[in-house]
Amino acid sequence: MIPDVATPPQHSKRVEAWVYAVLNPLIENLGREIFLLSKGNPSWRIYSRKCEYIHPICDYIGISQQPNYEDFIADPLNPGFQEKFEGHDRALAEVESSASRFSDGLILSDVFLKQMKDSLEGYESTAHTNSVYPFIESMRESLPRAVAELLVNRIDILPVYYMMQKFWEVYRRTFDLSEQEFEPYGQRQSFQALLQARAALKDVADKLLHDLESHRRLLCRTYDIPAAPIPVDRSVSHRADASIV
């Protein structure tokens, strides 16, 4: 329910700005977050230690629209959203730190590194006799990091344009120790922490998306504004101007 404060007038441009520049981008991007997280893929990157397609809330708002974002969270017509946004960002930070701890531990595991060495040698042996297998010798040093990233993101299939696509197609199941919770690598605890952090972020994103969609409906109904800008057909206007002449 809209609080009893000095409310904007009907068809308020200020409320339109909240809906179009703040709520709509957040709703769209949270939908993408939930889609990725439901597949177990936080899009975490080992080189940046960040999620590529999941960001802090304010990063979803264009730079030119930051004043509208700040106005939205400061206004009593939009209660509680600053705390909810901060909760989302804390959950995201926990996913990123959990992914880093898991991948770091994996790369330091002697069992994992031996498995990497054996898999690469087996792959290269096949590549010498089968042209379908491209050589990936140049990736020897970076391959353990690449595999760790793929395991964090639960990637089953790589696009064919990836150099290591065939390697992953052949050896992916060799590294998939999820049934044993990565215990052979000594990473059971860090893997479980990553799963829990990922699930917690999805739960936060689900609830936040629901709240944002409900609040958008409330604002649109209260101030009689559309949920998205209505495109203007300029060709109609031009034809009307021409008929006047």
Burial class (CB in 10 A: 0-12, 13-18, 19+), 145: middle
Q: What residue spans define the domains of the chain?
A: 13-106+202-228, 110-185
> Would you state the torsion angle of the CA atoms of residues 160, 165, 169, 171, taken in this order, to the nearest 10 degrees?
180
pLDDT tens per residue across span 149-189: 999 999 999 999 999 999 999 999 888 766 677 888 888 89
Alpha-carbon distances, residue 40 vs 1, 26, 36, 133 (angstroms): 36, 21, 6, 28
Whole-model pTM? 0.89
pLDDT value, residue 179:
63
pLDDT tens per residue across span 3-30: 555 678 999 999 999 999 999 999 999 9
Chain position carrying tokens 């395991």? 151
Are the CB atoms for 51 and 42 separated by under 8 Å? yes
Neighbours of 99 (CB within 10 A): 27
